[in-house]
Amino acid sequence: MPLLLQPLELRGLRLRNRCVISPMCQYSASDGFANDWHLVHLGKFAQGGAAVVFAEAAAVEKIGRITHGDLGIWSDEHLPGLRRIAGFLKANGAAPAIQLAHAGRKASMQRPWFGNGPLDAADRARGDEPWQIVAPSPIGLDEGWLVPHQLSLADIDAMKAAWKIAAGRALAAGFEIVEMHSAHGYLAHEFLSPLTNKRTDAYGGSFENRTRFTLEIAETIRSVWPEDKPVFVRLSCVDGIEGGWTIEDTVALAVQLKVRGVDVIDCSSGGLMGSATAVRVKRGRGFQVPFAERVRKDAGVKTMAVGLILDGAQAERILRAGQADLVAIGREALYDPNWLLHAAAALGAEGGFESWPVQYGWWLDKRRQSMSR
Ligand SMILES: Cc1cc2nc3c(=O)[nH]c(=O)nc-3n(C[C@H](O)[C@H](O)[C@H](O)COP(=O)(O)O)c2cc1C
């Protein structure tokens, strides 16, 4: 039996296999509300056999959205749409998961297909007005970008409360896994990296101070998240920039997160200076897997590998080699929502479409039988 297809227990949650669908912003919400697009987009992955399906980065505060199209969880009004998604995922065998996020200085941007830049006149004409962004230090992303307001200590306290309330909402909506987004140059990552955090108070300077925000938020999420349900944290394991955050920093932080009840470190990278993706880190197949391996071995915590994991054989090698406990699939799942079911067939573990939803599998197996006759 391939390891990819074997169940995994995380606290009281039993995952049907080791395949996770990575959070992927659809930039298709209005005022943060999930709609039919999100339901169908995510629902396909549950039908496609993944063990965990992550709803995209959901903003814990309205100003924490990357774009006007981001999903939101800053209000109780967002609950019904999210509840519908979580319910469908669970009814179809996947653990419903959600990523909580705040974009920090990378908020108030154009949707990718409108340029991924600062909001401009064309966006305003569409009704997408820019807003005041916040960050640990008043340093804009680049020339021509908004300069963030530096968060005061009182602002940080309010922020902690916002994450806590959002985690409570995620639970109320029926999600079974929550992930804190502390990667890709968004708010929490901006606190971690010495390149974006120039504070001189308790939240800046030393490693201990720069990690305080992520640790406190993780703690506050854990305080409302039930003991029998897992918490994940996504980290950019390296900035890939001189003087930035390093893999040694990640290992040290992962140890601290584990102590605070975090179950899985989701090992991504980059994004601090560029757009949402890991542009500063050289990319190839499985390019971030060594980070997941290092964190798993040196911090003694479960890890999720992500980034250009394309087929079942590659995923199986990663799991067998002990490089990660879970594999996350992003774009390849956009290409093939039935990724896990196809991987199972390619690994020789699927003969008669047994793992497929019966509404599909029954017919496909009949067809297979008739063609083999
Ligand atoms: C359309 C799209 C949206 C994404 N949105 C998010 C997101 O909401 N949160 C996040 O942490 N990463 C996000 N990512 C990054 C993915 O989760 C994943 O880490 C990345 O695409 C690398 O994996 P892949 O090579 O399998 O696509 C996004 C990626 C894509 C392609």
Q: Taking the domains of the chain in order of start, what are their residue ranges?
A: 3-372
Sign of CA pseudo-dihedral 139, 69, 215, 54: negative
Ligand 1 pocket, mutate which of 20, 22, 45, 265 (most atoms under 8 A from CB): 22
309 token code pair: 């994991």
Among candidate residues 271, 275, 269, 272, the one with its CA nearest the CA of residue 289: 269
The helix/strand/coil state of 89 is: helix
Give percent of the chain with pLDDT exceeding 90.
96
Ligand 1 pocket, mutate which of 25, 42, 265 (most atoms under 8 A from CB): 25
Averaged pLDDT, 133-154: 96
Averaged pLDDT, 23-50: 98
Res 282: pLDDT: 76
Res 246: pLDDT: 97
Band of the pLDDT at 359, cuts 50, 70, 90? very high
Amino acid at 212: R
Res 304: pLDDT: 98
Q: What is the mean pLDDT of the chain?
A: 96
Pick the catalytic residue from 186, 203, 335, 360: 186
Cα torsion through 257, 288, 113, 178, rounded to 10: -30
Res 350: pLDDT: 83
Is 3-372 in CATH node 3.20.20.70? yes
Whether the predicted pLDDT of 160 surpasses 80 = yes
- Per residue in 185-198, pLDDT (tens digit) is 999 999 999 999 99
68 token code pair: 């006007």
Q: Are 182 and 101 in contact (CB under 8 A)?
A: no
Averaged pLDDT, 213-230: 98
Whether the predicted pLDDT of 276 surpasses 50 = no
CA 55–ligand 1 middle distance (angstroms) = 11
Whether the predicted pLDDT of 168 surpasses 60 = yes
CA 134–ligand 1 middle distance (angstroms) = 23
Averaged pLDDT, 245-264: 98
Whether the predicted pLDDT of 3 surpasses 60 = yes
- Per residue in 82-127, pLDDT (tens digit) is 999 999 999 999 999 999 999 999 999 999 999 999 999 999 999 9
CA 368–ligand 1 middle distance (angstroms) = 35
Ligand 1 pocket, mutate which of 20, 24, 237, 332 (most atoms under 8 A from CB): 24
Band of the pLDDT at 283, cuts 50, 70, 90? confident
What sections of the chain are H helices per DSSP? 36-47, 79-91, 121-125, 153-172, 187-192, 207-210, 212-224, 247-259, 289-299, 312-320, 331-335, 339-346, 358-372
- CA-nearest residue for atom 11, ligand 1, is 23
CA 178–ligand 1 middle distance (angstroms) = 16
Burial pattern 4-24, b for ≥16 Cβ within 10 A else e, equals bbeebebbebebbbbbbbbbb
Q: Is 203 a catalytic residue?
A: no
What is the spatial distance between Cα 348 and Cα 32, in angstroms, rounded to a whole number?
42
Instruction: Return the number of other C-beta atoms located less than 10 Å from residue 337's C-beta.
Output: 22
Residues with CB under 6 A from ligand 1: 22-25, 56-57, 99, 181, 183-184, 234, 268, 306-309, 329-332
- CA-nearest residue for atom 21, ligand 1, is 330
- CA-nearest residue for atom 6, ligand 1, is 24
* DSSP secondary structure string for all residues of 225-252: S-TTS-EEEEEES---STTS--HHHHHH
CA 102–ligand 1 middle distance (angstroms) = 15
Residue pointed to by tokens 């993944």: 50
